[in-house]
Structure 1
C-alpha cells in the first residue's frame, strides 16, 4: 500500500466517524451561526440606538419650564419631548431617572428669570443617570443648551454694539478625510478576529477523539499494528479534522459577510465594502489556519492519557491565539509586518486592511498563509516523532 493510499484510507475512515458524530457536527453548526449573528446583533443594536432619537425623540422632564419658554421651544424644535413637572426633591429626581422613562431632568433655578433679566448667569441643573441606556442622549440635550447659551450671548453683545464674532477669535473648520469603509474597519476591526477563532473549535472534538479518544478506547494500538507509517495515520487524522474546520470556517465567513452586507451600516456612518473577490482571497489564505488548529490539537491530545485530559489541555491552548487579537487592538498599534506571522491576528489584520480598501499586498497574504502552515507542519512533525517513540508506544 502506497503512502498516498494509506493516508486516504485513514482520512475517509476518520471522516465517516466525524459525520456520525452528532456532537462534532452540532458544535460546528453552533459556531458557524453564533459569531456572525452575535456581531450582527451588536451592530444592529447600535443602528437601532442611532435611529431611535430621530423616530421617537428624546424624553426630557423639565422643572420650572415656564421660566424659560424660549428654551423650551428650542428643545422641542430639536426633537426633544419636554414634559413639565412640579418641584421635585433630589431623591425624587433620582427615583424618576431610575425608572428610565426620561433621559434626563432639567431643573431651572427659582431665580432663573431674575438672573436672566439682570444678565447674570442663570443656573440650570441637568440631572441624568450615567448607568442608564439613555445616557448617550444626554449629549444631544447638552448640545441644545450650549447653542441656546451662544444665541443669548450673541444677542446681548449686539445690544451693546459688539459683534458676536468677538466670542470666537479663532474659527476652526473640521475636514474628515476618513471614508466610511475606514471607520467601519476601525470599529468592526476588534470583532473581526472573532470570525477566525472558531477554526480551533470546529476541529476540537474530532482531533481529540481520533487521538486521545482512541488511546482511551485501546483502539490506537490496533491502528499502529497495521502496515502503515505513523505519518500516514497522523496525516489522515489531521486532514480529516482540518477538513471539518475548513468547511465550518468557510460557511461562517460567508454568513458573516452576508450579514455585514445586509446591515444598514450607513445609519451609523459606516459601510462594509469588502467584495466577494476579496472574501475569496481571504478564504484561500485562511486555509492554513484550520491546518494549524487541527495539528496543534492533535499534538496536544496525543500526549494525553484520557479524552477529558486532552480536551481540557486543548481548550486552554486555544486561548493563546486569542490573546494577541485582544491585546493588539487595545494597545492601538499600527499595522506591522510581524502581525501577519501570528495566527488569527494575521487574519484579523488582513481582513481589516481589505475592509479599509487598502490592499495589503502579496507579502501579507503569503505571510498569513505561510505562518500558520509552518506552525502546522512543526506540530505535525512533533506528533509523528512522538508516535515513533518507544517510550510512548509502551505507555499505550
Structure 2
C-alpha cells in the first residue's frame, strides 16, 4: 500500500502536469537562459576573432612619406589602402561606412619633420561607436612600436644606448589559468543557473495551497485519512520535484553549451565534466527542496491566491541578494559562504569552474545549509496545517 503522502504527491503532480500552458512556460524559461548565455559568449568570441578572420583594413593618406611604417603595418596583417587627400567630412563619411578600421593621415610636413628629427605628426581617425576597437588598438600598437624603433635608431646614431631610457625592465608572469579566467568572466552569469529552483515550483506551490483553499477543495482533502504532515509533505514533494527538474535541466543544458563553445578563442576553458555537473546537481537538490518548502509555507499563510502570488513574487528576489552583496563588496571566497543557501551553490560552482580543489567540507555545508532549513520549514507547515483557521482562511 502506498503511503498517503506519496498518493497526495502523485495527485498534485498529475493536476499540475495537466496545465500544459504552465508547464510549457516553465520549460521555456528554463531553456531560455542557457541559450541566451551561449549566444552572448559566442558573440564575444566572434568579436575577439573577427580581426583574424577578416583582417584589418586601414586607409592611409600620404603612405609614400613613410615606407617603413607601411611595411610594418603589412607585417601585422594590416591591409594598407592608399587613399588620396580627403577633407574631414569625407573621412567621417568613410568611417561611418564601416569598411575600414581607421584612417591614417600623415601631415604634409611629415618627411621634413622626420628628417629634421622633430615630432612628425600622424593623425589616426576612427569611429569609437563602431565595433572595430580591437582592430584600432592593433594599429596603435604598430604606431607605438614604430616610434620606439625610430627613437632607438636615433639614439644609436648619436652614440647613446637605447637602454639608457629604460632603467628598469618589468617582466610580467600571469599565473591565471584558462579555467580561472573563464570563471572570473562568466561567474556572475553562472549564479543565474540556480534561479529555476525558486521559479519552477512556485506556481504549483501557490495553486496547491492558496488555490485549493479558495476552491474549497482543501477541506475535501483534509477529510481523507491522511495526517496534516502527510498532506504538506505530498504538496512539498510535488513542488520540489518541479524545482529539481528545472534546476537539473538548467545546469545540464548550460554545461552542454559551455562545453560546445570554443572558449579557447578567448583564452578561457570550461574544465568541468559531466561527473562534476552531476555532483553539483546532487548537492543542489536541497536548494530546490528549500525553495519549495518556503513557497508552500508562505502560500499557506496567505489569505488569498493573489496575496500568495504577490508575496512569493517578492520572495523570489531574496535568493539573489547574498550573491549581489558579495559581488559588490568584492569579497574573497570564504568558508562561511558555503553555509548560506543559494550563495553556497554559486560559490561552489564558481570554485569548481576555476579548477580549484574544493574538498569535502564545502560540499557538505552546501548540502546541509539548505536541507536542514527545508525540513524545519516543512515541519512548521505541517503544524500550521492542523489549524482550522488556516483551512477556513480566517
Same fold (TM over 0.5): yes
C-alpha contact 2:206 2:308 (8 A) present in aligned 1: yes
Cα distance in 2 between the residues matched to 1:155 and 1:23? 74
Cα distance in 1 between the residues matched to 2:224 and 2:176? 62
How big is the shift at 1:8?
0.9
1:291 is aligned, of 289, 292, 309, to 289
When structure 1 is superposed on structure 2, of 231-240 and 384-393 the one drifting more is 384-393
Report the count of equivalent residues.
394
How big is the shift at 1:321?
0.9
Match of 2:361 in 1: 363
How big is the shift at 1:91?
4.3
Cα distance in 1 between the residues matched to 2:26 and 2:269? 29
Match of 1:31 in 2: 29
How big is the shift at 1:38?
1.8
Cα distance in 2 between the residues matched to 1:189 and 1:226? 49
Q: Secondary structure at the match of 1:62?
A: strand
Match of 1:204 in 2: 202
How big is the shift at 1:175?
1.6
Q: Secondary structure at the match of 1:286?
A: helix
2:14 maps to 1:16: yes
How big is the shift at 1:229?
2.2
- Give the direction of change, closer, same or farther, for the CA distance of 1:89–1:312 in structure 2 (3 Å limit): farther
Cα distance in 1 between the residues matched to 2:107 and 2:306? 68
C-alpha contact 2:296 2:381 (8 A) present in aligned 1: yes
Cα distance in 1 between the residues matched to 2:329 and 2:93? 39
2:97 maps to 1:106: no
Cα distance in 1 between the residues matched to 2:172 and 2:124? 29
Match of 2:233 in 1: 235
1:317 is aligned, of 312, 315, 318, to 315
Match of 2:267 in 1: 269
How big is the shift at 1:95?
4.2
Alignment of 1:113-152 (within 5 A): 113-152=111-150
C-alpha contact 2:213 2:391 (8 A) present in aligned 1: no
How big is the shift at 1:92?
4.2
C-alpha contact 2:195 2:247 (8 A) present in aligned 1: no
Gaps of 5+ in 2: none
1:393 is aligned, of 378, 391, 394, to 391
Cα distance in 2 between the residues matched to 1:129 and 1:282? 45
How big is the shift at 1:90?
4.0
How big is the shift at 1:61?
2.7
2:330 is aligned, of 308, 315, 332, to 332
Cα distance in 2 between the residues matched to 1:8 and 1:120? 88
1:158 is aligned, of 156, 165, 184, to 156
Gaps of 5+ in 1: none
When structure 1 is superposed on structure 2, of 327-336 and 188-197 the one drifting more is 327-336
Q: Secondary structure at the match of 1:126?
A: strand
Cα distance in 2 between the residues matched to 1:11 and 1:60? 67
Alignment of 1:333-348 (within 5 A): 333-348=331-346
- Give the direction of change, closer, same or farther, for the CA distance of 1:305–1:83 in structure 2 (3 Å limit): farther
C-alpha contact 1:24 1:206 (8 A) present in aligned 2: no
Cα distance in 2 between the residues matched to 1:335 and 1:281? 20
When structure 1 is superposed on structure 2, of 42-51 and 25-34 the one drifting more is 25-34
- Give the direction of change, closer, same or farther, for the CA distance of 1:63–1:308 in structure 2 (3 Å limit): farther
C-alpha contact 1:64 1:84 (8 A) present in aligned 2: yes
- Give the direction of change, closer, same or farther, for the CA distance of 1:303–1:280 in structure 2 (3 Å limit): same
Match of 1:301 in 2: 299
Cα distance in 1 between the residues matched to 2:201 and 2:93? 52
2:212 maps to 1:214: yes
How big is the shift at 1:153?
0.9
Q: Secondary structure at the match of 2:125?
A: strand
C-alpha contact 1:27 1:202 (8 A) present in aligned 2: no
How big is the shift at 1:286?
0.6
Match of 2:175 in 1: 177
Match of 2:72 in 1: 74
Cα distance in 2 between the residues matched to 1:177 and 1:93? 43
Cα distance in 1 between the residues matched to 2:123 and 2:113? 15
Cα distance in 1 between the residues matched to 2:192 and 2:87? 48
C-alpha contact 2:5 2:231 (8 A) present in aligned 1: yes
- Give the direction of change, closer, same or farther, for the CA distance of 1:86–1:379 in structure 2 (3 Å limit): farther
When structure 1 is superposed on structure 2, of 25-34 and 250-259 the one drifting more is 25-34
